[in-house]
Amino acid sequence: MFRLLLALCLAAVLSACANKPLYPPAPAKADGASDWTYLLGPGDSVNVFVWGNPEISGSFIIRPDGKMTMNLVEDMPATGKTPTQLAREIEKVLSKYVQDPIVTVMVAGGVGPYSQQIRVLGQATKPQTLSYREHMSLLDLMIAVGGITDFAAGNRASILRVVDGKPQQFSVRIDDLIKDADVSANVEMRPGDVLIIPERWF
């Protein structure tokens, strides 16, 4: 009887420890997320419109090496630039061939640079890398990855985030958010966040 009682007490202690967050809670509002600007990355498709020169205009892909090639412009570095910055640089190159070129660059389909993508690791139904979207939340992320597995310890999940150049880790309550519909557990994501969902101990 004593051994059974001891085992039950030990199980209760371990359960409490298992549910206790290891890191400070993630802030509901992510600092810096409102200042986010989309940057181009490998795999992005861009529409380049050169005013008055349809033969130069077109749709182009940014290659895995971060460069793109279009009519009259070869191996133009594009990764890490805004569409406007890329347009101004294309104008400089085209000015050798076209008088006073006016260029507009629009993103047709994009994933952004690796530094701004969000990664979901561990016990998600579909762990993957996702493009960041403005005002993306933890709930949006859970919908995108299909939720968590039966073996996930959702309330021990954490977000790995770079703040002021230093990596920090914050706890999130995925079980409360998904299973209990506790909207207070929903938090904003930031570009470059890594969501880690550990496995339950028992």
Q: What is the fold of 45-109?
A: wza like fold (3.30.1950)
Average pLDDT estimate for 164-183: 93
| Structural domain boundaries in the chain | 24-37+114-197, 45-109
Inform me whether the pLDDT recorded for 6 exceeds 60: no
Say what the pLDDT of residue 199 is. 93
CATH 2.60.40.10 for domain 24-37+114-197, yes or no, is no
pLDDT surpassing 50 at residue 8: no
Across the chain, mean pLDDT equals 87
**One fold for 24-37+114-197 and 45-109:** no
Question: What pLDDT, on a 0 to 100 scale, did the predictor assign at position 34?
Answer: 63
Q: Residues 22-49: what's their mean pLDDT? A: 84
17 pLDDT more than 60: no
Q: Helix/strand/coil (H, E, C) string of 47-105?
A: EEEECCCCCCCEEEECCCCCEEEECCEEEEECCCCCHHHHHHHHHHHHCCCCCCCCEEE
The SS3 call for residue 13 is helix
Q: DSSP secondary structure string, 139-202? A: HHHHHHTT-B-TTB-GGGEEEEEEETTEEEEEEE-HHHHHHS--GGG--B--TT-EEEEPBP--
Q: What is the average pLDDT across 64-74?
A: 94
pLDDT given for residue 157 in this prediction:
96
Partners of 18 in the β-ladder: none
Q: Which residues pair with 129 in a beta bridge?
A: 119
